[in-house]
Amino acid sequence: MKKTFLILILSISFANCANSQSDLNFFAEELCNSFKTSDLDKPKGELFQLVQSKSNEVYQKFPKKLTAIKDEFKQKYPDKSDTELASMIGREISLLAIDNCPTFQRITQKIAVPEPAKNKRSVTNVSNELCQLLNNSSDKKASALTKIIEDKLFDLVLKNKALIEKEYGSFTSSDYKTDLNATLMKECDIYYKLVMNGN
Protein backbone atom coordinates (compact mmCIF):
# COMPACT_ATOMS: atom_id res chain seq x y z
CA MET A 1 0.00 0.00 0.00
CA LYS A 2 2.76 2.45 0.91
CA LYS A 3 4.65 1.49 -2.29
CA THR A 4 1.57 2.42 -4.34
CA PHE A 5 1.08 5.62 -2.35
CA LEU A 6 4.72 6.66 -2.79
CA ILE A 7 4.58 6.07 -6.54
CA LEU A 8 1.28 8.00 -6.68
CA ILE A 9 2.96 10.99 -4.97
CA LEU A 10 5.80 10.88 -7.48
CA SER A 11 3.22 10.56 -10.25
CA ILE A 12 1.37 13.65 -9.08
CA SER A 13 4.64 15.54 -8.72
CA PHE A 14 5.61 14.69 -12.28
CA ALA A 15 2.16 15.19 -13.82
CA ASN A 16 3.55 17.70 -16.30
CA CYS A 17 6.18 15.46 -17.87
CA ALA A 18 6.23 12.60 -20.36
CA ASN A 19 8.04 9.56 -21.70
CA SER A 20 11.27 9.80 -23.61
CA GLN A 21 13.86 7.42 -22.19
CA SER A 22 16.64 10.00 -22.13
CA ASP A 23 14.35 12.57 -20.54
CA LEU A 24 13.15 10.06 -17.98
CA ASN A 25 16.78 9.31 -17.17
CA PHE A 26 17.47 13.04 -16.95
CA PHE A 27 14.68 13.58 -14.43
CA ALA A 28 15.66 10.49 -12.43
CA GLU A 29 19.23 11.82 -12.26
CA GLU A 30 18.02 15.28 -11.23
CA LEU A 31 15.84 13.70 -8.55
CA CYS A 32 18.80 11.66 -7.36
CA ASN A 33 21.05 14.71 -7.21
CA SER A 34 18.47 16.60 -5.17
CA PHE A 35 18.66 13.93 -2.44
CA LYS A 36 22.44 13.47 -2.23
CA THR A 37 22.78 15.57 0.92
CA SER A 38 19.53 14.43 2.53
CA ASP A 39 19.43 13.17 6.10
CA LEU A 40 18.13 9.59 6.01
CA ASP A 41 17.60 9.48 9.77
CA LYS A 42 14.45 11.59 9.63
CA PRO A 43 11.09 10.03 10.54
CA LYS A 44 9.00 8.52 7.72
CA GLY A 45 6.62 11.48 7.62
CA GLU A 46 9.43 13.97 7.14
CA LEU A 47 11.04 11.81 4.47
CA PHE A 48 7.70 11.58 2.68
CA GLN A 49 7.38 15.39 2.74
CA LEU A 50 10.96 15.63 1.49
CA VAL A 51 10.15 13.38 -1.50
CA GLN A 52 7.15 15.55 -2.37
CA SER A 53 9.11 18.77 -2.03
CA LYS A 54 12.18 17.62 -3.98
CA SER A 55 10.02 16.09 -6.73
CA ASN A 56 8.15 19.37 -7.18
CA GLU A 57 11.42 21.33 -7.25
CA VAL A 58 12.86 19.09 -9.95
CA TYR A 59 9.96 19.30 -12.38
CA GLN A 60 9.46 23.04 -11.84
CA LYS A 61 13.11 23.64 -12.65
CA PHE A 62 12.71 22.50 -16.29
CA PRO A 63 9.28 23.64 -17.57
CA LYS A 64 10.16 23.74 -21.30
CA LYS A 65 11.65 20.26 -21.25
CA LEU A 66 8.60 18.98 -19.37
CA THR A 67 6.19 20.53 -21.84
CA ALA A 68 8.01 18.97 -24.78
CA ILE A 69 8.10 15.50 -23.32
CA LYS A 70 4.52 15.74 -22.11
CA ASP A 71 3.41 16.35 -25.70
CA GLU A 72 5.48 13.40 -26.89
CA PHE A 73 4.01 11.18 -24.21
CA LYS A 74 0.45 12.17 -25.13
CA GLN A 75 1.14 11.25 -28.75
CA LYS A 76 2.53 7.90 -27.73
CA TYR A 77 -0.43 7.10 -25.44
CA PRO A 78 -3.43 9.04 -26.84
CA ASP A 79 -5.97 6.84 -25.04
CA LYS A 80 -4.56 7.61 -21.57
CA SER A 81 -5.91 10.32 -19.29
CA ASP A 82 -3.61 12.93 -17.76
CA THR A 83 -3.80 11.08 -14.44
CA GLU A 84 -2.85 7.77 -16.05
CA LEU A 85 0.01 9.43 -17.90
CA ALA A 86 1.24 11.07 -14.72
CA SER A 87 1.14 7.72 -12.94
CA MET A 88 3.12 6.01 -15.70
CA ILE A 89 5.68 8.79 -15.78
CA GLY A 90 6.07 8.99 -12.02
CA ARG A 91 6.52 5.25 -11.79
CA GLU A 92 9.18 5.15 -14.49
CA ILE A 93 11.12 8.07 -13.02
CA SER A 94 10.98 6.67 -9.50
CA LEU A 95 12.07 3.20 -10.65
CA LEU A 96 15.00 4.67 -12.56
CA ALA A 97 15.96 6.70 -9.48
CA ILE A 98 15.67 3.62 -7.26
CA ASP A 99 17.86 1.61 -9.65
CA ASN A 100 20.54 4.26 -10.04
CA CYS A 101 20.53 6.27 -6.82
CA PRO A 102 21.32 4.55 -3.50
CA THR A 103 20.19 7.57 -1.46
CA PHE A 104 16.80 7.71 -3.16
CA GLN A 105 16.48 3.95 -2.83
CA ARG A 106 17.13 4.15 0.94
CA ILE A 107 14.56 6.92 1.34
CA THR A 108 11.88 4.94 -0.52
CA GLN A 109 12.75 1.83 1.49
CA LYS A 110 12.19 3.76 4.72
CA ILE A 111 8.90 5.22 3.49
CA ALA A 112 7.38 2.26 1.66
CA VAL A 113 8.40 -0.75 3.77
CA PRO A 114 6.89 -1.57 7.16
CA GLU A 115 9.28 -2.05 10.05
CA PRO A 116 9.96 -5.78 10.55
CA ALA A 117 10.09 -7.42 13.97
CA LYS A 118 13.53 -7.16 15.54
CA ASN A 119 15.67 -10.01 16.87
CA LYS A 120 13.95 -12.82 15.01
CA ARG A 121 16.68 -15.25 14.02
CA SER A 122 14.39 -17.19 11.70
CA VAL A 123 13.80 -14.04 9.64
CA THR A 124 17.46 -13.04 9.69
CA ASN A 125 18.65 -16.52 8.67
CA VAL A 126 16.35 -16.78 5.65
CA SER A 127 16.73 -13.15 4.51
CA ASN A 128 20.53 -13.23 4.76
CA GLU A 129 20.83 -16.51 2.85
CA LEU A 130 18.38 -15.49 0.13
CA CYS A 131 20.00 -12.09 -0.29
CA GLN A 132 23.41 -13.73 -0.55
CA LEU A 133 22.13 -16.09 -3.26
CA LEU A 134 20.70 -13.15 -5.22
CA ASN A 135 23.86 -11.08 -4.85
CA ASN A 136 26.09 -14.00 -5.86
CA SER A 137 24.09 -14.80 -8.98
CA SER A 138 26.11 -14.23 -12.13
CA ASP A 139 22.88 -13.49 -14.01
CA LYS A 140 21.27 -10.30 -12.67
CA LYS A 141 18.30 -10.36 -15.06
CA ALA A 142 14.93 -10.17 -13.31
CA SER A 143 13.87 -13.57 -14.65
CA ALA A 144 16.99 -15.27 -13.26
CA LEU A 145 16.65 -13.59 -9.86
CA THR A 146 12.95 -14.44 -9.68
CA LYS A 147 13.80 -18.07 -10.46
CA ILE A 148 16.29 -18.12 -7.56
CA ILE A 149 13.56 -16.86 -5.23
CA GLU A 150 11.06 -19.40 -6.55
CA ASP A 151 13.56 -22.26 -6.32
CA LYS A 152 15.24 -21.46 -3.01
CA LEU A 153 12.92 -19.49 -0.73
CA PHE A 154 10.77 -22.41 0.37
CA ASP A 155 13.85 -24.56 1.03
CA LEU A 156 15.38 -21.83 3.16
CA VAL A 157 12.15 -21.38 5.11
CA LEU A 158 11.81 -25.15 5.56
CA LYS A 159 15.38 -25.32 6.84
CA ASN A 160 14.34 -22.86 9.61
CA LYS A 161 10.97 -24.49 10.35
CA ALA A 162 11.68 -25.33 14.00
CA LEU A 163 12.96 -21.83 14.71
CA ILE A 164 9.97 -20.23 12.95
CA GLU A 165 7.60 -22.34 15.05
CA LYS A 166 9.49 -21.37 18.21
CA GLU A 167 9.48 -17.63 17.41
CA TYR A 168 6.07 -17.34 15.70
CA GLY A 169 4.09 -20.29 17.04
CA SER A 170 3.34 -21.69 13.59
CA PHE A 171 5.33 -22.54 10.49
CA THR A 172 2.64 -20.89 8.34
CA SER A 173 2.45 -17.71 10.44
CA SER A 174 1.37 -14.68 8.44
CA ASP A 175 3.41 -12.52 10.85
CA TYR A 176 6.52 -14.47 9.84
CA LYS A 177 5.80 -13.93 6.14
CA THR A 178 5.24 -10.21 6.73
CA ASP A 179 8.44 -9.85 8.76
CA LEU A 180 10.46 -11.82 6.22
CA ASN A 181 9.25 -9.72 3.30
CA ALA A 182 9.78 -6.47 5.22
CA THR A 183 13.31 -7.53 6.19
CA LEU A 184 14.16 -8.48 2.62
CA MET A 185 12.75 -5.17 1.36
CA LYS A 186 14.71 -3.17 3.96
CA GLU A 187 17.98 -5.09 4.04
CA CYS A 188 18.43 -6.66 0.59
CA ASP A 189 18.79 -4.00 -2.09
CA ILE A 190 18.66 -6.43 -5.00
CA TYR A 191 15.38 -7.92 -3.69
CA TYR A 192 13.92 -4.44 -3.12
CA LYS A 193 14.72 -3.35 -6.69
CA LEU A 194 13.26 -6.57 -8.07
CA VAL A 195 9.99 -6.08 -6.18
CA MET A 196 9.74 -2.38 -6.99
CA ASN A 197 10.21 -3.12 -10.67
CA GLY A 198 7.18 -5.39 -10.49
CA ASN A 199 8.93 -8.74 -10.85
CA trace torsion 50, 54, 56, 60 (10° rounding): 160
Which of 92, 119, 116, 138 shows the shortest CA–CA distance to 188? 116
Better pLDDT: 97 or 22: 97
pLDDT of residue 15: 44
Residues 106 and 132 in one domain: no
Show the domain range for 179: 121-196
Question: How many domains does the chain fold into?
Answer: 2
Which of 94, 112, 130 is a domain's end point?
112
pLDDT at 55 exceeding the cut of 90: no
Altogether, the residues listed in the chain come to a count of: 199
Round the average pLDDT of the chain to a whole number and report it: 83
Residues 103 and 169 in one domain: no
Query: What burial class does residue 24 get, using C-beta atoms within 10 Å of its C-beta: 0-12 exposed, 13-18 middle, 19+ buried?
Result: buried
Enumerate residues 6+ apart whose C-beta is below 8 A from 192: 98, 105, 109, 113, 184, 185, 186
pLDDT in tens, 104-147: 888 888 888 877 777 899 999 999 999 999 999 999 899 999 99
Residues 42 and 138 in one domain: no
Residues 165 and 98 in one domain: no
CA 90-92-95 angle, to 5 degrees, is: 105
Which of 69, 84, 112 is a domain's end point?
112
